Chain A
Amino acid sequence: MKKLSARRRHPLAALVVLLLALACTGGLYAVFAPASKAQADETAQSLAIDEGKKLFAVGCASCHGAGGQGSSDGPSLVGVGAAAVDFQVGTGRMPAQQPGAQVPRKKVIYTQAEIDQLAAFVSSLGAGPNIPTEAQYGPDGADIAKGGELFRDNCTQCHNFTGKGGALTHGKFAPSLEGVDPKHIYEAMQTGPQNMPSFPDTTLSEQNKKDIIAYLNAVNGDDTVSPGGLELGGLGPVSEGLFAWIFGLGALIAVAVWVAARTAKAKKS
């Protein structure tokens, strides 16, 4: 101990103590911290993460950074969760074709298996919402009318009465919800992609989301019947006015021309 106490005023003593303290803390952390990431090398999950990482490096990293930390061209993906990846890639929005006011829906280029791998990798970067199960977005136990009320409360401002879409500022837009997979609608509400606000479970409960999806399916689904005939886009009075002018008045003027052309004419001598 004498050797040690003799060197206690050595200029490097403080540094040594600091290193020792750091080593201790680090060691303790390594022992007690949740070790799923560091361990488990051979599970299916980690294989998916590895595959996802490779796909990410090829398709996403140029904008979102190699580690998903984001860059000037794309936001950080730490903490966005698997649901966001499943929505963005599953609807073809990502990978983006070009920068612009908003990235539109387009052809999906990854298979669902690849999307799941990408989702696994991104969710490994930080915890976020998971991909919902069919029990969460399926029609069982949903209240359509309640969903309609919630939809009018929270969604129609941008997406129109029955989800036909609408305009936002500077070329941005709320897309049409026609033909969108219920899972993707759920994920959109959960994660708030692009210009959409997010509606986490604390704002719209799981049951609320289920109701909204059921309502949309009832009024804007594949087998929705329009009681009044042609919907004319379901856009309200603008398309109705155009129709009245072109087909209504147009037909009546055509009839008037016809009636006026058929007249009792005096015979020419």
Chain B
Amino acid sequence: MSTNESTAANGARRDKAPAGERVADWADGRLGIYSLAKANMRKIFPDHWSFMLGEICLYSFIIIILTGVYLTLFFHPSMNEVEYHGSYVPLQGQLMSEAFNSTMHISFDVRGGLLIRQIHHWAALIFLAGMFVHMMRVFFTGAFRKPREVNWLFGFLLFVLGMFTGFTGYSLPDDLLSGTGVRFMEGAILSVPIVGTYLSFFLFGGEFPGGDFVARFYSIHVLLLPGIMLGLVVGHLILVFYHKHTQFAGPGKTNNNVVGMPLLPVYMAKAGGFFFLVFGVIAAIAAIASINPIWAMGPYRPDQVSTGAQPDWYMGFSEGLIRVMPGWEINFWGHTLVLGVFIPLVIFPLVLVAIAVYPFIESWVTGDKREHHILDRPRNAPTRTAFGVAWITWYMVLLIGGGNDLWATHFHLSINAITWFVRVAFFVAPVLAFIATKRICLGLQRRDKDKVLHGRESGIIKRLPHGEFIEVHEPLSQEQLHTLTAHEQYEPAAIGATVDENGVERKVKGSEKLRAKLSEAYYGEESQIPKPTVEEYKEITSGHGHH
């Protein structure tokens, strides 16, 4: 028996360490894991559900890679024409590309193929949705501030690359829906003045659709973009480790510490378990609900098209841009400038860049060069929060435009009315959202101030001896008071002295004036409620004639 032998051996030579220790020792001598583990095993992560949104993205990304590898084993990235003879009856004998044929084969004749395909596709949608929400969490809590600006950009790039990886993957099966999407893209490329035609011919190897694009998209989808993304993910995680995680304000939490659980064992167990939970939820969804049923759509033929042809949700705003854009065209000297397509193509990146550059604009306005590790509550940064909500509104308006036909059929509306609504809302809705959000934030700030100074409304109504009814307010605990008053408030930055010590007037630059104006808009009297001071608190709670 091995146990007996080892016991005997231990008895004989007591100096020999247990197997685990020996393995660790062997590895440490070659990889230096001891110092690595010593430095990182006790790394602290704060606990909050919203800090796990990034994990959802990471895990769904891993799931996508795993299932994607399985799919590559059976997928043929070729546009050669073949006749279908698989097990799906309604397509028997139809001509299709090998790409479509092999996807049908994966769906109907490979064991577990359809489930893996659906996990892959659902995980992709959830990956992008997760990144969106994660990005918004970082945005609204101000986690993008110094020192995390670079990591914000890494995350943003991951989102954009994720969109294009998703789009190329969606196009691979060469079905009628995705083929329409590729045609849409070709149209957008063609609308570029002067070079559009050349770019299109370069991408498709000639006239659309040609015989090349599936193979080319395949390389981009499985090699180029995921490779870059993997690198960015690693960089993103290294930076998270290096910067340490941010945390919400609270007693004992400062800009110089992190309060939470150590990586080992608590966080490792949680994160590991969470991976399986994410995999489980996505697999369950993939087992329950159908996604991209290519058999129902049929093989792509450029002369066919279906209604309800939309891209996956993350490209939906580009669909919206094109659907609501009036079909303007300019003709001169036999050349056509298709503004109806080209303008949306130009706005498409601008929508994304608008949110990406925001952190830099804010840091320029505040001129704050300090590090920030304590998160803001969204209400305490009303202008930022209002900008974020306005951006989301803008994005959502475009999504409505992208699905205008389904809004029309499901809500019994006129598609033209929806299109006009989106055209107007594209300009108006973000402004309204900005104003409304800012006011709500200020209202919440006032409420916080009220709570700090007067306590929490207890709901108990008391009748005083002389007949007056009052509501009893309970004072907040010390922890709550700290949390509600921990944020700092900026002063609007004024333009520096315009006259130097020698009395010489200096020229004030336009950028300085702009910055002062923006700063006033951000932190002026209209834009924040001064938080209660200690004096105010003392005066009110000292009890002179106050109930």
Contact = CB atoms under 8 A, between A and B. Distances in A.
Contacts of B416: 169-170
Nearest to A147: B90
A235 interface: yes
A155 to B, nearest CB: 9
B91 A230 contact: no
B305 interface: yes
Contacts of A159: 307
Contacts of A194: none
B288 A230 contact: yes
B306 A226 contact: no
B381 interface: no
Nearest to A104: B412
A160 B307 contact: yes
Nearest to A220: B296
A239 B261 CA distance: 39
A160 B114 contact: no
A117 B270 CA distance: 74
Contact of B290 (A149, A167, A219, A227): A227
A158 interface: yes
Contacts of B415: 167-171
A228 B49 contact: no
Contacts of B344: none
Interface string A147-170: 011001100111111101111111
Contacts of B107: 227-228
Interface string B403-433: 1111011001111110000000000000000
A240 B125 contact: yes
Contacts of A168: 415
| Residue among B93, B288, B408, B413 with max Cβ neighbours from chain A (10 Å) | B408
B311 interface: yes
Contact of B90 (A219, A229, A251, A259): A219
Nearest to B46: A260
Contacts of B393: none
Contacts of B92: 144-145
B125 A166 contact: no
Interface string B253-276: 000000001000010001001100
Contacts of B126: 244, 248-249, 252
Given A243-B289, A248-B126, A153 B304 contact: yes
Interface stretch (B22-30, B234-242, B279-287): B279-287
A237 interface: yes
A161 B176 contact: yes
A164 B122 contact: no
Interface in A114-170: 144-145, 148-149, 152-153, 156-162, 164-170
A165 B306 CA distance: 10
A28 B43 CA distance: 110
Given A144-B90, A145-B90, A152-B298, 6 more contacts: A236-B310, A240-B125, A240-B312, A244-B129, A253-B53, A256-B49
Contacts of A264: 261, 266
